[in-house]
Each structure stands twice: as structure tokens, then as C-alpha cells.
Structure 1
Amino acid sequence: EVDGKILHIGVSIGIALYPLHGDNAMQLVRYADEAMYEAKKLLIGYRFLPALH
């Protein structure tokens, strides 16, 4: 609550683990970015991408 108003905040993140999802920064960022956008499409709490594992 801020100044008497209720605020609703959302967050979207993508997670990539080294070396499971890539062995360099570019691969890890790309994987995390794809995971984040897939999660946003669902509009629910999470998304697991088995095809990328």
C-alpha cells in the first residue's frame, strides 16, 4: 500500500543453469530469455521447457 492505494506488482524471470543450459554467457542469456517469454505467455506462475533440456 502506498499513499492509501493498493499496488499490484508482477514479475517475469527466466532462469538458466550453467552448464545444463549453456556453456557461455550468450547461451545462458538466450535460454533464460526464452524461458521468461514462455512463462509470460501462460499468465500463471511458471513454465518448464522440457524441449530445451
Structure 2
Amino acid sequence: MPVGEKPSTTISALAELIGITERSVQRNIRNLQKDGLLRRIGGRKEGHWEVLE
């Protein structure tokens, strides 16, 4: 199942899947948010990410 189809994917799992550090995943998420391409809906436990176009 692709990561995009698994809403419970963790930063650790993403880092391992694409071969970068967890810190790099966090930095990329922050940059995508800053650029208006990614938005967090809800809280840390029950929330999800929304990709904006």
C-alpha cells in the first residue's frame, strides 16, 4: 500500500521508506507547510495531513 493511502504513516516510517533521517522528514514537512503545499487538519493523535495544490 502506498504511503499516501495509509493515513497513520509515521515520520519514522517515511524516513526509513525513502532513506533519509527523521529530522529531514520533519524539515521537509515544515518547508511544504511554509510554501502552502501541505496543511495539518486536526491534532497530533487524530489529525491528518492535506496536500494542497
TM category, shorter: 0.3 to 0.5
Bigger-Rg structure (1/2): 1
TM-score, normalized by length of structure 2?
0.39
Q: Which has the higher helix share?
A: 2
